[in-house]
């Protein structure tokens, strides 16, 4: 993991901690701050590890950075002159305006690149092997599925980890939104079937997290 990528991940963890603990802080439950920080760290690192693991199996490399936004419309010219850190601004806006009720948790995006050994396995050294959209979508799906797995384990854990379960669901659902460069868009472009399957699972998990 490169140092710059680590800094972006650390920033995402801090913002996730603010988003996840804001409602508690309003009620002066400061003891929840380190707990939410631990949960946020666990969710983000496991999600990233899952993506990097699948990427490694596909002979690719994955790097993460804070979600940046430049386009504000669907037309080509509807772009900002400079990118804004959407992975910081939008989660904080939702948190502030809803007093922590809506925990929008999309902070990071990823970019996968084929390694030289991928080309070597297929065509010989110094050959080029392009990463397909399907493989790129599978990498993103690994992170989402990892969050669902965290949610299940935390829910059935004998200890009180219900909030960890809910935070993992919030993180998965937020990143499944098919916009910009979020995981959801990359999965959607890779496979509509895969995206639909994950969306249905997210709907089931989301019903638990938001209603129950």
pLDDT digits (tens, 9 = 90+) for 45-70: 999 999 999 999 988 999 999 999 87
Q: Mean pLDDT throughout 1-27? A: 94
| Residue 137 confidence class, pLDDT cut points 50, 70, 90 | very high
What value does the CA radius of gyration of the chain take, rounded to a whole number of Å?
Answer: 18
Stated pTM of the model = 0.90
Higher local confidence (pLDDT), 54 or 128: 54
Range of the domain at 80: 3-211
The count of structural domains within the chain is 1
Task: Assess contact for 184 and 176: CB atoms under 8 A.
Answer: yes
Q: What's the confidence (pLDDT) of residue 130? A: 72
SS3 (DSSP) at 178: coil
> Tokens 């935070």 correspond to what residue?
167
| Residue 83 confidence class, pLDDT cut points 50, 70, 90 | confident
Through-space distance between the first and last CA atoms of the chain, rounded to whole angstroms = 38
Higher local confidence (pLDDT), 37 or 119: 37
Is residue 124 pLDDT above 60, yes or no?
no
CA angle at 176 for the pair 45 and 17, rounded to the nearest 5°: 45
Cα separation, 33 vs 22, whole angstroms? 9
| Residue 126 confidence class, pLDDT cut points 50, 70, 90 | very low
């Amino acid at each position: 993991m490169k140092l710059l990528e680590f800094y972006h991940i650390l920033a995402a963890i801090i913002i996730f901690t603010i988003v996840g603990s804001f409602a508690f802080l309003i009620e002066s439950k400061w003891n929840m701050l380190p707990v939410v920080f631990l949960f946020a760290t666990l969710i983000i690192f496991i999600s990233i590890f899952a993506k990097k693991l699948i990427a490694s199996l596909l002979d690719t490399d994955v790097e993460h950075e804070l979600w940046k936004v430049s386009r504000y419309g669907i037309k080509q010219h509807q772009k900002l002159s400079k990118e804004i850190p959407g992975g910081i601004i939008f989660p904080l806006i939702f948190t502030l305006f809803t007093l922590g009720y809506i925990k929008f948790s999309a902070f990071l995006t990823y970019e996968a690149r084929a390694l030289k050994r991928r080309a070597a396995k297929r065509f010989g050294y110094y050959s080029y092997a392009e990463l397909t959209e399907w493989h790129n979508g599978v990498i993103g799906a690994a992170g989402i599925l990892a969050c669902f797995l965290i949610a299940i384990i935390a829910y059935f854990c004998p200890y009180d980890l219900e909030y960890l379960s809910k935070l993992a669901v919030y993180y998965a659902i937020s990143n499944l939104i098919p916009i910009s460069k979020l995981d959801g868009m990359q999965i959607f472009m890779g496979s509509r079937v895969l995206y639909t399957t994950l969306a249905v699972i997210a709907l089931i998990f989301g019903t638990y997290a938001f209603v129950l």
